[in-house]
Amino acid sequence: MFEHIDPRSSTPLYAQIAARFRVAIAAGELRTAALLPSVRELAARLRVNPATIAQAYRELEAEGFVEIRHGAGTYVRELAPGRRTRERARQAKALAERVLADARRTGVTLEELREAIDGVLGAKTT
Amino acid sequence: MFRVMLYTQWKWSRLIILLGTVAAFALPIISMQGAAHAERNPLEAQDLLRTVQSWGTLYPVLAAALGLFVAMAAWAPDHRGRHVHALTLPLPRWRYMLLRCASGAVLLAIPAAAVLAGALLATATATLPPGLQSYPFALATHFVLATAVAYGVFFAVSAATARTAGIILAAVGALIAVQVVAGVANVNFDIVSPLTMIVLGPAGPFAIFTGRWMLVDV
Amino acid sequence: MTNVIEIDSLHYRPGKGFALRDLSIHVPAGAIYGFLGPNGSGKTTTIRLVLGLLRPQSGRITVLGDRMPDDAPKILARVGYVPEQPHLDPTLTVDELLRFQAAFYPTWDGARATQLLRQFDLDGERLFGRLSKGQKAKVMILLALAQQGELLVLDEPTDGLDPVVRRDILAALLEYVSQRGAAVFISSHLVHEIERICDWIAVMDDGRLVTEVPMEQLKNGTKRLRVAGAPATLGPTPFALFAREPATAAAETWVVGEWKPEMAGYFPGIGASLQDVIDLDLEDGFVELLRSFRGGRSEGSA
């Protein structure tokens, strides 16, 4: 889940980590009441500053995805119905924006992009 | 803290302590060799004294060797690590030195006790010719003092930086070299003798090494 | 928030040539403070001064509230140190080294020491001198962690070690920091490692401090800009201008620090246009920072 966190990216590490958790929660990989790894354990596993993990967890709590219970750990909250769908939609939008920005930078037109997507999808079904 | 210092000191110097203890125990016994006969005449008393005296010259050598090697063993690991470990331990330098010095001294008590044990054994199993007395305690005390002086001096030299120790040894070596050259060139230049008198003479710190090391005497 | 290490206007000159000049450093409690700099910039000397191994000519060094080197023994009881070169007796076994160390620190945690021995896969009965470089480094960090100090001072602890050992050491270090809330002062030239774990960063060059800032500020604030139409001479800029070079016929590349997105508005004001903002990772930022620092000093301008 955390293989690609990149300290050199312009996105701060805590934001990258929080984003991974958001994806997992939206996809249902982390269900309601699931326990997130402790700050200590995750900091050691990812070899990042524990303050970074703590900040990621705080951001997730502020957004309403998790609940930090002091002494007990951080748990995934029960999400309101449709929240998961909305979160997935938000992530899809971010993904699309990224792809389109890359395409623009490399000079790929919208048509060429559509063709490529169809090609990839087509190849998958055959 | 002292316990672990003693442990490491033992680990570094156990060979020299063991060998030294064996030698320290054997020396009085060997020096009294042949004295277990029942009959003795005055001529043989002279022989005994001569034997005891000639073997006796080995005591100061043993004392100096023990002092030197235990002192060196105390500091060699520190020098190798450039004292970083010792200097980052949470105790003042002088306390560290004291603990090191004391642990070496405790170990040196072993060969000193061996001298006493050997001397007592040697004099107990021997029949002394009339007019001669044994001085096992005096001998053992003499040995302890000589070991202490040797250990103290070599400890101080080893504890100094390698540079200082090198300078001292180089100076001594230079003096000796000058003296040798002067002697060869037949020049009447004597600096070593007066210095030696001061250092090794009866009033000097090394006087303890000279003198008679007699287990039995008149 | 108190500082675990405070250095004020430090001057240290051991002899001819190299000197530490006017050094001022502040390490906040609980921070992981990275100390970056090229070789010979004075990192190890600074660490030696912080540990009381050297005495400065002038300036103050305060560690955990007490003065160095005057109160050294009192302070060192609460500081775990991992030097660059192995400093332990090679003729002792790992167990003997642990026992020796434990006798000097009342806060020693034997259970943690045993657990770390297992975690690092070390054989307690092996002689220290017979261990590999990585195993020696693990032993040294084990001693520092089992001591339970409030401050850890690490001098290039993972330099020259293979990636697996580096991970093990960093993981143990971070676990300790999370649990104990200890502060870490770590010098390294492995920029990518520093980037991951440090929340503060100081850069040294040739005995002087170049900058001391929170990590995010250095990383996010340093950018490469593509600028077109800028005049040859500039007035004061809202950001720190490190370098300015022609890139194409029409545009220049500017390397800037302390950048904020709002500053884009500066360019129309000087009749220029900002074409692109490119992120610089810490390594590039570090290189640019040094370049501008050295260039600024030689030209005599800020």
- C47-75, pLDDT tens digit by residue? 999 999 999 999 999 999 999 888 999 99
- B165-189, pLDDT tens digit by residue? 678 778 877 777 776 777 677 666 6
Query: What pLDDT band is residue B129 in, cutting at 50, 70 and 90?
Result: confident
A40, A56, A76 — which closes off a domain?
Answer: A76
Is A106 contained in some domain? yes
Domain assignment of residue C259, given as a range: 217-299
Query: What pLDDT band is residue B5 in, cutting at 50, 70 and 90?
Result: very high
Tell me, yes or no, whether A31 and A64 share the same domain. Answer: yes
Using a threshold of 3 CB pairs under 8 A, tell whether chains A and C touch.
yes
- The lowest-confidence range among B25-29, B150-154, C39-43, C245-249 is C245-249
Tell me, yes or no, whether A36 and A67 share the same domain. Answer: yes
C184, C215, C246 — which closes off a domain?
Answer: C215
Mean pLDDT of the B101-121 span: 93
Using a threshold of 3 CB pairs under 8 A, tell whether chains B and C touch.
yes
Tell me, yes or no, whether A25 and A44 share the same domain. Answer: yes
Query: What pLDDT band is residue B23 in, cutting at 50, 70 and 90?
Result: very high
**8 A C-beta contact, residue C54 and residue C45:** yes
Tell me, yes or no, whether A58 and A106 share the same domain. Answer: no
Taking Cα atoms as reference points, which of B1, B45, B207, B34 lies closest to residue B125? Answer: B34
Q: Which residues of C touch B11 (CB under 8 A)?
A: 91-92, 96
Domain assignment of residue A94, given as a range: 83-125
* Interface residue of B89, B95, B99 to substitute, partner C, most C CBs within 10 Å: B89
* Count of domains observed in chain A: 2
Query: What value does the mean pLDDT of chain B take?
Result: 81
Looking at residue C117, its pLDDT comes to: 95
Higher pLDDT, C251 or C145: C145
Position B196 pLDDT exceeds 70: no
Q: Dihedral of CA B116/B119/B122/B124: which sign?
A: negative
The C-alpha atoms of residue C86 and residue C133 are separated, in whole angstroms, by 9
Position A78 pLDDT exceeds 70: yes
State the Rg of chain A over Cα. 18
- C178-207, pLDDT tens digit by residue? 989 899 999 988 888 888 899 999 999 989
State the Rg of chain B over Cα. 21
Mean pLDDT of the B13-27 span: 93
Looking at the complex, does the CB of residue C10 fall below 8 Å from at least one CB of chain A?
no
Tell me, yes or no, whether C211 and C222 share the same domain. Answer: no
Mean pLDDT of the C272-280 span: 86
- Please report the DSSP string for C75-108 in residue order: HHTTEEEE-SS--S-TTSBHHHHHHHHHTT-TT-
* Count of domains observed in chain C: 2
- C80-120, pLDDT tens digit by residue? 999 998 999 999 999 999 999 999 999 999 999 999 999 99
Tell me, yes or no, whether C258 and C189 share the same domain. Answer: no
Is A36 contained in some domain? yes
Q: Provide the CB-side half-sphere exposure for C231 (13 A, CA).
A: 11
Position B6 pLDDT exceeds 90: yes
Tokens at C93, concatenated: 């076994």
Interface of C with B in 55-114 (CB under 8 A): 72-77, 81, 83, 86-92, 96, 99-100, 103-105
Looking at residue A17, its pLDDT comes to: 93
Tell me, yes or no, whether A44 and A66 share the same domain. Answer: yes
Q: Which residues of C touch A44 (CB under 8 A)?
A: 170-172, 174-175, 178
Tell me, yes or no, whether C210 and C282 share the same domain. Answer: no
Looking at residue C300, its pLDDT comes to: 41
Q: Rounded to an integer, what is the distance from CA C274 to the centroid of its chain?
A: 34
Q: How far apart are the first and last CA of chain A?
A: 29
Q: Which sequence spans correspond to the domains of chain B?
A: 2-217
- C288-300, pLDDT tens digit by residue? 888 878 876 654 4
A61, A76, A91 — which closes off a domain?
Answer: A76
Q: Residue C202: which CATH number? A: 3.40.50.300
Tell me, yes or no, whether A71 and A88 share the same domain. Answer: no
Q: Which residues of C touch A43 (CB under 8 A)?
A: 174-175, 177-178
Tell me, yes or no, whether A22 and A69 share the same domain. Answer: yes
Looking at residue B187, its pLDDT comes to: 66
Higher pLDDT, C152 or B37: C152
Looking at residue C302, its pLDDT comes to: 39
Position B14 pLDDT exceeds 90: yes
The strand pair at C3-12 and C58-63 is best described as antiparallel
Mean pLDDT of the C280-292 span: 81
Position B37 pLDDT exceeds 80: no
Tell me, yes or no, whether A41 and A72 share the same domain. Answer: yes
Query: What is the three-class DSSP state of C211?
Result: strand
- Please report the DSSP string for B77-102 in residue order: HHHHTTTHHHHTSSS-HHHHHHHHHH
Is A7 contained in some domain? no
Looking at residue C231, its pLDDT comes to: 86
> In this complex, do B4 and C81 lie within 8 Å of one another by their Cβ atoms?
no
- The lowest-confidence range among A61-65, B162-166, C15-19 is B162-166
Query: What pLDDT band is residue A12 in, cutting at 50, 70 and 90?
Result: confident
Q: Rounded to an integer, what is the distance from CA C226 to the centroid of its chain?
A: 31
Q: Which residues of C touch A48 (CB under 8 A)?
A: 174, 196-197
Tell me, yes or no, whether C237 and C197 share the same domain. Answer: no
Mean pLDDT of the C251-278 span: 87
* Interface residue of C104, C139, C151 to substitute, partner B, most B CBs within 10 Å: C104
